């Protein structure tokens, strides 16, 4: 199952509680970046182009757990950089699990086989492995041969040891949709991962290569094509049904960046995981000092083409809880496949 039942129940209950308390802005997923250093240098990455003094910084275990305690989000995603380079990553993960947080450890998997015995399988931990397609596409995307094979080998080992595994796939301009569909089938049917996350890449100011990012219209077209090919295939996505429908251009959502707050070595990043318009010293300060209305498509030109999970998944999940019949309808029929 792409999302464990216990997680669906806990997150659903959490959202209901927030609604009953009249909280208009609440966190759903904490994006916890304990370091920016990585052992790859993918051309589309917006996280690794910092000077060494920043790349050498780490959040401590205490800082990571305090971030979780401060914001209270039920889900914690740990991207980076490469989190497995952090020498205390297993303590961070264990501390979060002890708090009953659902942890998604995002990794390129190059160190996963070596480090896997530091972790224990549990429904609270999912290894979310970065794979941008089949062997040829992924090795090209990360700029290094052999990475796909090592990641697949690590996924198989993790599956054999009973860990939950996801694949995290970023899409760029020119992606071959037929090959992408076959890759998703391979991930679900052959590798047997719990779920696949597909997101259009974001044009970071830091990204080395800026001509490869999808605009909103092309994102919608790509996902409609993808879902059309996928009809009848048994794909498991780790995203909500309404978020997938949004990617295909069928939901008119506004961005809710506070749903996915980001804590990294600089502090609490304003306003989201993608843009860095300053940092707050605490979660409370982030919520109170950010001018949230300045952001989102139609407000900030940098947001015009953004359809990333960190801006819109929380919107879609809240919509699912508010309108379960609409979500059920899309779940049964699949995302709409024609342009609106
Ligand atoms: S593996 Fe991830 S963090 Fe590392 S360089 Fe590639 S995109 Fe960036
Ligand atoms: S639209 Fe995207 S880039 Fe803009 S604030 Fe929302 S998540 Fe951030």
pLDDT digits (tens, 9 = 90+) for 199-251: 887 766 555 555 678 889 999 999 999 999 999 898 999 999 999 999 999 99
99-114 pLDDT tens trace: 999 999 999 999 999 9
For atom 5 of ligand 1, the residue with the nearest CA is 41
54 vs 207 pLDDT, higher one: 54
Contact 164, 121 (CB under 8 A): yes
User: Are the beta carbons of 99 and 311 closer than 8 angstroms?
Assistant: no
Which residue's CA lies nearest to atom 6 of ligand 2?
311
Q: Give the three-state DSSP class for 217.
A: helix
Q: Rounded to two decimals, what is the model's pTM?
A: 0.94
- What is the CATH superfamily name and number for domain 5-333? Aldolase class I (3.20.20.70)
* Token pair recorded at residue 22: 């009249």
The strands making up 276-280's β-sheet, listed across from edge to edge, are: 195-200, 164-171, 125-130, 102-107, 75-78, 29-32, 262-264, 267-271, 276-280
Q: Is 82 in the pocket of ligand 1 (CB under 6 A)?
A: yes
Helix, strand, coil percent content, the chain, rounded in steps of 5: 45, 15, 40
271 CB under 6 A from ligand 2?
yes
Which of 41, 45, 128, 172 gets mutated to test ligand 1 (max ligand atoms within 8 A of its CB)? 45
Per the CB < 8 A criterion, the answer to whether 272 and 259 are in contact is no
Structure tokens, 298:
């139609």
* pLDDT tens-digit readout, 160-209: 999 999 999 988 888 889 999 999 999 999 999 999 999 887 766 555 55
Specify the pLDDT at position 291: 96
Query: What atom of ligand 2 comes closest to residue 256's alpha carbon?
Result: 6
Q: What mean pLDDT is reported for the chain?
A: 92
Q: Alpha-carbon distance 189 to 186, whole Å?
A: 5
**What pLDDT is recorded for position 49?**
85
C-alpha span between 225 and 181 (Å, rounded): 10
pLDDT of residue 42: 86
Q: What is the pLDDT of residue 96?
A: 98
pLDDT (0 to 100) of residue 252: 93
Q: Taking residues 60-88, what's their average pLDDT?
A: 96
Q: Where are the domains of the chain?
A: 5-333
Q: Return d(Cα 263, Cα 280) in angstroms, integer.
A: 9
Two structure tokens written together for 317:
């999940």
Q: Nearest ligand to the C-alpha of residue 300? A: 2
11: pLDDT strictly greater than 80:
yes
pLDDT tens by residue, 29-49:
999 999 999 999 888 777 888
Distance CA 175, CA 44 (A): 14
Ligand 1 pocket member 40 (CB < 6 A): yes
Give me the pLDDT at residue 46, please.
Answer: 77
């Amino acid at each position: 199952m792409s999302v464990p039942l216990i997680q669906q129940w806990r997150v659903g209950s959490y959202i209901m509680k927030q609604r009953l308390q009249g909280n208009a802005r609440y966190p759903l997923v904490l994006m916890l970046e304990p370091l920016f250093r990585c052992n790859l240098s993918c051309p589309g990455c917006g996280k690794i182009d910092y000077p060494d003094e920043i790349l050498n910084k780490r959040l401590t275990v205490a800082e990571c757990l305090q971030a979780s305690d401060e914001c209270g989000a039920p889900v914690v995603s740990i991207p980076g950089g490469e989190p497995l380079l952090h020498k205390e990553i297993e303590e961070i993960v264990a501390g979060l699990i002890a708090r009953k947080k659902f942890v998604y450890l995002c990794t390129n998997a190059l160190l996963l086989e070596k480090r896997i015995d530091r972790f224990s399988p549990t429904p609270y931990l999912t290894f979310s492995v970065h794979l941008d397609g089949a062997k040829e596409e992924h090795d090209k995307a990360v700029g290094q041969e052999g990475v796909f094979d090592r990641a697949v080998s690590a996924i198989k080992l993790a599956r054999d040891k009973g860990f939950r595994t996801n694949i995290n796939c970023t899409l760029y301009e020119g992606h071959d949709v037929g090959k992408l569909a076959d890759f998703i089938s391979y991930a679900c049917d052959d590798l047997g991962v719990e779920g696949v996350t597909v997101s259009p890449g974001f044009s970071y100011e830091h990204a080395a290569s800026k001509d490869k990012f999808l605009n909103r219209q092309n994102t919608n077209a790509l996902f409609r094509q993808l879902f059309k090919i996928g009809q009848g295939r048994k794909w498991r996505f780790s995203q909500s049904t309404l978020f997938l429908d949004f990617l295909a251009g069928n939901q008119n959502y506004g961005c809710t960046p506070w749903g996915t707050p980001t804590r990294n070595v600089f502090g609490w990043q304003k306003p989201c995981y993608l843009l860095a318009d300053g940092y707050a010293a605490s979660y409370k300060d982030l919520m109170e000092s950010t001018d949230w209305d300045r952001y989102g498509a139609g407000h900030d030109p940098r947001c015009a083409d953004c359809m990333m999970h960190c801006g819109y998944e929380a919107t879609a999940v809240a919509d699912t809880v508010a309108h379960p019949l609409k979500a059920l309808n899309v779940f049964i029929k699949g995302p709409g496949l024609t342009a609106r």
